[in-house]
């Protein structure tokens, strides 16, 4: 798979809500980071929208599948029509 194909693959998994398969793209030492601030230097001294290690990322995926994950109903997907994927 070329890097370009990989990026399309990742986007497709998100667009089609295949979050468990998406999770498998991450290695055990991965970090998923969405900084809170522009040009934020680190995730430890400043808060983040998301700063998940692999353990938390897996919990995040499990949480969104829980029947009482109120804020995930309906479950987001990345693109209009993505569920047709």
Partner 1 sequence: MAANEQLAMLVQPDRVHRALYTDPAIFELELERIFGRAWLVLGHESQVRAPGDYYTTRMGREPVIVVRQDDGRIGVLVNRCAHRGSMVCAEGRGNAERFVCPYHGWSYDRAGALKAVPFASGYAPGKLAELRLHPASRVSVYRGFIFASLAPSGQSLEEFLGPTRASFDDFVDRAPGGELEVAGGVFKHAYNGNWKLMLENHLDGAHPAWVHASSVAVARNAPEPGKPGEERYSDIAVRQMRQNGAPDAVWEGTGIWATPRGHGYMGDYHDDDRLVAGLGNPAFEEYRAELIRRLGQPEADRILCVTLWNTIIYPNCSFMSQFRQLRIIQPVAVDRSVVYTYSFRMKHAPARMFRDTVAFANVVNGTGSWVLTDDLEVYERIQHGLGAGAPEWVYIGRGYGRDVDEPGARRGATGTSEVFIRGQMRAWLDYMSRDA
- Residues making contact with partner 1 (CB under 8 A): 34, 36-37, 40, 43-53, 55-56, 59-60, 62-63, 66-73
- Dihedral over Cα of 9, 14, 15, 16: its sign: positive
Minimal distance in Å, beta carbon 78 to partner 1?
16
Minimal distance in Å, beta carbon 57 to partner 1?
9
Q: Give the residue with the Cβ less far from partner 1, 12 or 60.
A: 60
Q: Give the residue with the Cβ less far from partner 1, 36 or 79.
A: 36
List 6's β-bridge partners, or say none: none
CA distance 34 to 51: 6
Q: Give the residue with the Cβ less far from partner 1, 63 or 83.
A: 63
Minimal distance in Å, beta carbon 38 to partner 1?
11
CA distance 57 to 41: 21
In angstroms, how far is CA 49 from the centroid of its own chain?
A: 12
């Amino acid at each position: 798979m070329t890097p370009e194909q990989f990026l399309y693959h990742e986007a497709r998994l998100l667009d089609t809500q295949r979050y468990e398969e998406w999770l498998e793209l991450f290695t055990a030492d991965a970090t998923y980071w969405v900084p809170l601030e522009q040009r934020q230097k680190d995730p430890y001294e400043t808060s983040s929208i998301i700063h998940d290690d692999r353990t938390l990322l897996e919990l995040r995926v499990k949480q969104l599948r829980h029947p009482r994950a109120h804020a995930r109903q309906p479950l987001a997907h990345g693109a209009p029509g993505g569920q047709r994927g």
